Amino acid sequence: MEEEDHRMDETEWSYHGEGNKSLVVAHGQMSRVLRLLKYSSEDAENAPQNPEETFRQMDNIVDFSNNVMGPLLGDKFVHSGEVVKLPLEFVRQLSIKVQHQRPAWRCDKVMDIYSGAALCLPNLTAPPCLQTHTPPLCIEIKPKCGFLPSPEHVSKDIKTKVCRYCMHQHYKVANGKWKRKSLYCPLDLFSGNKQRMYFAIKHLIEEPQNNFKIFKGGQCIHGDREELPSLNSLVQKLRPYFTCGTGRNMTLLHDFIQVLVDSLLSSDEEGNEGVERRREERTVCEASLCSKELIRTGSQPLPRDSVLGRILQVQLLDSLDIEGVFPLYRRVEQHLHHFPQERGRLQVDGPYDKAFLEKLQKCPAEDDGSIEYAVAKVQQYRVAMTAKDCSIMVTLVPRRDEEDGGDRAVSSSVSILDLDPKPQDGVRRQQRLDHRVVSSYLRDAPGPRPPRFPECTLLIHPV
């Protein structure tokens, strides 16, 4: 743990964003951010945990990223950061400064001002300045879950036909969280089919919600929840990156999406094989708007070493679905109720070291009735949930290629962020949420959508 300089000035830092559990501030000059934990506003006067517990939580986040997600996803994609200790007066002044910049819907939680604990990370939305007049463009994508569960472990057949994201969209609109349903489907993005991926990203641009943001020079220019997305405005902001002239808007948007698709499929390995999927697994969601004709053509495998391929392989550690995992979770909880001293030996809450990863990877395929098997499957599920909730950051750096007459071109790099460990008790919450989401979809969802390209049957009658 590193102790930050006591002369830190809160005026040099500004609000950058926040998630459900933490708030992020960015430095005005240096390419780095500080991530601080949040807790319920009901605990504003008294911190829910002491400083030692907060620092331990931060250390767990770094260890999980370094020792578990790094090896599974590829160290080249992961930035773990380091835990720092901040002066408490700086943190309190910073909290006051950023409060008015926070979205109203996030203010049910407050920033931790008691521990001084923070995670220092590179600012991936504003990488260090390069030799270019145009600042880098950074695109943040939350891809969500890219596969359908096996019918062997689910009680409702709809879960093997419609992906969780599409069902959850229906649930969120019905409950007023979003005004409009996103047409994005993760199975299209993870398909490896460039045309399906193109439509997936286009739908993310049109309805970003929390799953798509574009940053220019560290500032969000598209995907801010407080503003309605405008494609025309976005195209004007993208124009310096993709054309020297005044190209048509749709052509420019097409070029932008193609660069993203290529970045997400990029792989360093020669002859990179596709991600191995279960034999019975469906790769198409019935709620997707992609036509059957489009799905039939060119079923390219998703490269294993691409960023999407890596994420999907970790997601597939969830081989049982929440319905298959929950009985094992209860087995673990009952064991810990009778033998609480076993919690440390079983590494239920860490430490997230090499031994933890080894147990995860050596879990037997069949249930032998042991507590070790149950713990390993629950841990696999928790790691898979982290991969389902992670974000991809694609950084596009403009360059001018002299060989092609000075036309604009971009080089890209890819990172994965939001890799915190999911808590053990989150399994129970996921089980309840899954029941609500599926029940809502079965109750209210419209019937099957007529195909855009109806299939015909040719009948030949004898004369």
Angle between helix 307-315 and helix 371-388 axes, rounded to 10 deg = 150
Rounded Cα–Cα distance for residues 156 and 292 (Å): 24
Please identify, among 122, 147, 177, the residue that sits at the C-terminal boundary of a domain. Answer: 122
| Residue 455 in domain | no
Same-domain check for residues 206 and 57: no
**DSSP E strand boundaries for 41-115:** 82-85, 109-111
Candidate ranges 43-47, 50-54, 259-263; pick with highest mean pLDDT: 259-263
Within a domain: 333: no
Please compute the mean of the pLDDT values over residues 350-369 and round it to a whole number: 94
- Tell me which of 57, 88, 122 is where a domain ends: 122
CB distance 15 to 98 below 8 Å:
yes
Residue 187: pLDDT above 90?
yes
Does 312 lie in the same domain as 395? yes
Whether residues 191 and 89 fall in one domain: no
Whether residues 50 and 187 share a domain: the answer is: no
Q: Decide if pLDDT at 243 tops 70.
A: no
Q: How confident is the model at residue 232 (pLDDT cuts 50, 70, 90)?
A: confident
Rg (CA), the chain: 23
Q: Report H helices in 389-449.
A: 426-444
Same domain, 161 and 103: no
- Once rounded to an integer, what is the mean pLDDT over residues 67-87? 96
The DSSP annotation for 153-216 comes to G-S-GGGGTS-HHHHHHHHHHHTTS-SS-----HHHHTT--HHHHHHHHHHHHHS-TTSEEEEE
Look over the chain and give the mean of its residue pLDDT values, rounded to a whole number: 87
In this predicted structure, what is the pLDDT of residue 143?
98
Per-residue pLDDT band at 231 (split at 50, 70, 90) = confident
Q: How confident is the model at residue 134 (pLDDT cuts 50, 70, 90)?
A: confident
> How confident is the model at residue 398, as a pLDDT?
81
Give the residue, 264 or 43, on which the prediction is more confident: 264
- Ranges 36-50, 386-400, 449-463: which has the least confidence: 449-463
In a domain, 452, yes or no: no
Q: Hey, which of 32-41, 177-186, 384-393, 410-419 has the most confident mean pLDDT?
A: 384-393
Q: List the end-to-end C-alpha distance of the chain, in Å, as a whole number.
A: 87
Task: Please state the rounded mean pLDDT for residues 314-320.
Answer: 96
* Helix %, strand %, coil % of the chain (to 5): 40, 15, 40
Contacts 24+ apart (CB under 8 A), 363-370: 367/328
pLDDT value at residue 233: 87
Residues with Cβ within 8 Å of residue 414, at least 6 apart in sequence: 77, 263, 264, 266, 307, 392, 393, 394, 395
pLDDT above 90 coverage of the chain, percent: 65
**25, 156: one domain:** no
Whether 54 is in a domain gets the answer yes
pLDDT in tens, 145-158: 999 999 999 999 99
**Structural domain includes residue 379:** no
Whether the pLDDT of residue 29 is over 90: the answer is no
Q: Find the mean pLDDT for residues 59-87.
A: 96
Question: 7-16, 237-246, 386-395: which range is least confident on average?
Answer: 237-246
Q: What is the pLDDT of residues 246-284, one digit of tens each?
A: 557 788 899 999 999 999 999 876 656 777 766 556 789
The answer to whether residue 130 sits within a structural domain is no
User: Is residue 453 in a domain?
Assistant: no
Q: Output the pLDDT for position 299.
A: 61
Give the span between the Cα atoms of 223 and 178, in whole angstroms: 14
Same-domain pairing of 184 and 295: yes
pLDDT in tens, 422-440: 999 999 999 999 999 999 9
In total, how many domains does the chain have? 2
The CATH number of the domain where 20 resides is what? 3.30.200.110
Whether 448 has a pLDDT exceeding 70, the answer reads: no
| pLDDT over 60 (residue 176) | yes
* Residue range of the domain that includes 230: 137-318+386-444
pLDDT reading at 291 higher than 80: no
Q: How confident is the model at residue 179 (pLDDT cuts 50, 70, 90)?
A: confident
Better pLDDT: 48 or 246:
48
Name every residue whose Cβ is closer than 8 Å to that of residue 112 and which is 6 or more positions away in sequence: 36, 37, 38, 39, 47, 54, 91
Residues 220 and 192 in one domain: yes
Mean pLDDT of 22-51: 86
Same domain, 287 and 402: yes
Peptide bond into 143 cis (omega under 30): no
pLDDT higher than threshold 80 for residue 326: yes
**One-letter identity of residue 413:** S
> Which of residues 95, 122, 149 is at a domain's end?
122
Contact at 8 Å (CB) between 189 and 197? Answer: yes
Q: Is the pLDDT of residue 408 over 70?
A: no
| Within-domain flag for 127 | no
Average pLDDT of span 368-374: 95
If asked whether residues 92 and 156 sit together in one domain, one would say no
Considering the domain architecture, whether residues 117 and 163 belong to the same structural domain is answered as no
Q: Which of 47-61, 117-131, 239-253, 384-398 has the weakest average pLDDT?
A: 239-253
User: Looking at residues 88-105, what average pLDDT do you find?
Assistant: 92
For residues 234 and 152, membership in a common domain is answered with: yes
